[in-house]
Structures are given as C-alpha cells and as structure tokens.
C-alpha cells in the first residue's frame, strides 16, 4: 500500500510517499480502508518534538471502510463505515490502510461524508470537553472563544450555541464571515478591535489560539468566570499549568485542557453532524501524495477550519 512515511534523512521534506506492507489486523483489530484523514496539531507538533510513531506514519483522525475484522471484534463488520482518533493507538492515518483496535472507532452515518467525519474527532472533542467538561457551560452564559477561525474554534462556536450560550468569537479578518455563519452572536476581528479594551465580562473563555496574557483573560472574566486554555502559545499553556492555581485562589478559575479520546463523545458529535446541528468546516483538501504540503499549511496556524487529505477515492 501507499503511505506517507517520516524519513529524517530526506531533508527538507521528511514526509515521503512510499510503498509499505499493508497491515494485517490482530484478533481485536479492524483493517480500515482509509478514505479521508485530517491534519491536527498533534501531527506536526509531535513531529517537531521528535515524537515519531513506531511505524513512522502520522495521521490520527481517519474515516474509512472496514475491510477485515479480527476474530474478537464485536462492534463492526466488513463494509461498515467508521471514523475515529488513532492518536492513542500509534497513529498511522497517512496511508491507504490502517489496522487499529475497535475501541478507537465509531460508526459513521451514511449521510456524513468521509471528509467531514475525519475532521471531527480531535477538534470536536477538544471543543466539547473544553466547554462542557471543564467550562461547565450553561444556557444563557456569555462565552468568549479566542481563535474561533480554526478547527477547534469552529466547533466551539457551534457547540456553545447548541448549549444555549451567548457567543463572542475572536478571529482573523478572513474568517469573520464564516464564523458569523456558524452562529456567533458577536465576532471580533482581532486586527481591528480588542476584546481587552471592552467593558465586557465573560462567564467562560475558551482560549484555542492567540498569545494574550493570563492577566488580560482574568480582567475579561466575570467574578466567577472560568478560563479554559485549550491551545495557543506554549508560554500561555505553561503559565496556566504553573500559575493557574494562583489565579484560581478567588472565585475565578483557570485550567488547562487535555482532551481525552472518547467514543461516547464521537457518537454525540457525529449525531449532531448527521442532524445538521454541527457543520465541519474544511479549509482545503489535498491528495495523499501532497501530505507534506498539507502539514506545512496546517502548521502555519491560519487555516479556516480543518485541512483534510483524501486517500482512497
């Protein structure tokens, strides 16, 4: 099969399209013919940090068709359309096929495209767990989403509206119209306006991108506000990890999100997609042979929604 393999010696393009052995599923695995796979920060950040998968194939968020099943597999059968997050199971998505435990997967509704399904797992679960699990989102609350133009931010805007919140979204100028179309009540173009200068207090801030100071977030929070740091500059993330407890001594709370893979959350999210209540936004697609270019584009951090690689058409 064809796969995009990490080869450090092939500088400067260390991701190379090659022929490799097609995986054989073990007794508790399914073999997936991959139709689409989306690019995540987990891919390019792991590569930068030298955290290379054992099989040297990145790619976590996949959608495809079950081609073979192991003897112990209970949930799926040959021909089922599935999607899931492989990050906790060795990656392997930048390829024509992957063998993975059924625990990583959920059923894909027929009405949802493979491209849309592949864009959901990491970004959707990060947004959902940030708002619901850590942010304790409630109907009627005032929510600020920083970095609303990216994959996580797009899902966060829609999920916050689904939960009944009043949403202010912060994004770049090219993303304003799309973010408005996703349901945001207010959209701030950070090049023309500054949320810090407003006398506007939020019940919950979900910081997906940006490089604002923790003190600035604190001033924008109401007395019982919660800041959930889901991304952004590493200095911010480390700052919350190191000093979040200090900022949380009063009634305000600052926490760092570490999203956890969950098939239950996958099912919840894909049902919203199926019912038209959640719409994945795809910036652009690439063929498997151009995976290196897709990674470079996504790593610049300015994509509108998700970057998806189409594999088997």
Q: Where are the domains of the chain?
A: 2-119+280-310, 122-256
Q: Is the pLDDT of residue 249 over 60?
A: no
Per-residue pLDDT of 180-195, as tens digits, reads 999 999 999 998 888 8
In the chain, the percentage of residues whose pLDDT exceeds 70 is 94
pTM of the entire predicted model: 0.92
Q: What is the model's pLDDT at position 312?
A: 86
User: Across the chain, what does the average pLDDT equal?
Assistant: 92
Please state which of the four CATH numbers 3.30.1740.10, 1.10.10.10, 3.40.50.720, 3.30.413.10 is assigned to the domain occupying 122-256: 3.40.50.720
Per-residue pLDDT of 28-55, as tens digits, reads 999 999 999 999 989 998 998 889 999 9
The arithmetic mean of pLDDT across residues 183-211, rounded, is 89
Q: What are phi and psi of 264, to 5 degrees?
A: -65, -45
3-state secondary structure the chain: CEEEEECCCCCCCCEEEEECCCCCCCCCEEEEEEEEEECCHHHHHHHHCCCCCCCCCCCCEEEEEEEEECCCCCCCCCCCEEEEECHHHCCCCCECEEEEEHHHEEECCCCCCHHHHHCCHHHHHHHHHHHHHHCCCCCCCEEEEECCCEHHHHHHHHHHHHCCCEEEEEECHHHHHHHHHCCCCEEEECCCCCHHHCCCCEEEEEECCCCCCHHHHHHHEEEEEEEEECCCCHHHHHHHHHHHHHHCCCCCEEEECCCCCCHHHHHHHHHHHHCCCCCCCEEEEEEHHHHHHHHHHHHCCCCCEEEEEECCC
CATH of domain 2-119+280-310: 3.90.180.10
């Amino acid at each position: 099969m064809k796969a995009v393999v990490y080869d450090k010696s092939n500088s400067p393009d260390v991701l190379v399209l090659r022929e490799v052995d097609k995986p054989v599923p073990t007794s508790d695995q399914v073999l997936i013919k991959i139709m689409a796979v989306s690019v995540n920060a987990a891919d390019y950040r792991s590569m930068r940090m030298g955290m290379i998968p054992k099989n040297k194939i990145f790619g976590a968020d996949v959608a495809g068709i079950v081609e073979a099943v192991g003897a112990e597999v209970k949930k799926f059968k040959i021909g089922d359309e599935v999607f899931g997050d492989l990050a906790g199971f060795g990656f392997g998505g930048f390829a024509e096929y992957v063998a993975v435990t059924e625990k990583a997967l959920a059923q894909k509704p027929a009405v949802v495209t493979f491209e849309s399904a592949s864009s959901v797992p990491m970004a959707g679960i990060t947004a959902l767990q940030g708002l619901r699990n850590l942010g304790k989102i409630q109907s009627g609350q005032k929510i600020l989403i920083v970095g609303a133009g990216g994959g996580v931010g797009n899902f966060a805007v829609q999920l916050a509206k689904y939960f009944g919140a009043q949403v202010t979204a912060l994004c770049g100028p090219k993303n304003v119209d799309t973010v408005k179309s996703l349901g945001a009540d207010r959209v701030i173009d950070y090049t023309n306006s500054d949320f810090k200068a407003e006398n506007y207090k939020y019940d919950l801030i979900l910081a997906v991108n940006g490089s604002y100071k923790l003190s600035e977030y604190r001033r924008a929070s109401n007395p019982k506000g919660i800041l959930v740091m889901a991304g952004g500059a590493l200095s911010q993330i480390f700052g919350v990890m190191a000093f979040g407890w200090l900022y949380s001594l009063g009634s305000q709370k600052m926490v760092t999100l570490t999203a956890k893979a969950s098939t239950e959350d996958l099912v919840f999210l894909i049902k919203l997609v199926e019912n038209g209540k959640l719409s994945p936004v795809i910036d652009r697609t690439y063929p498997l042979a151009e995976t290196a270019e897709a990674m470079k584009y996504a790593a610049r951090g300015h994509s509108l929604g998700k970057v998806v690689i189409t594999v088997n058409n």
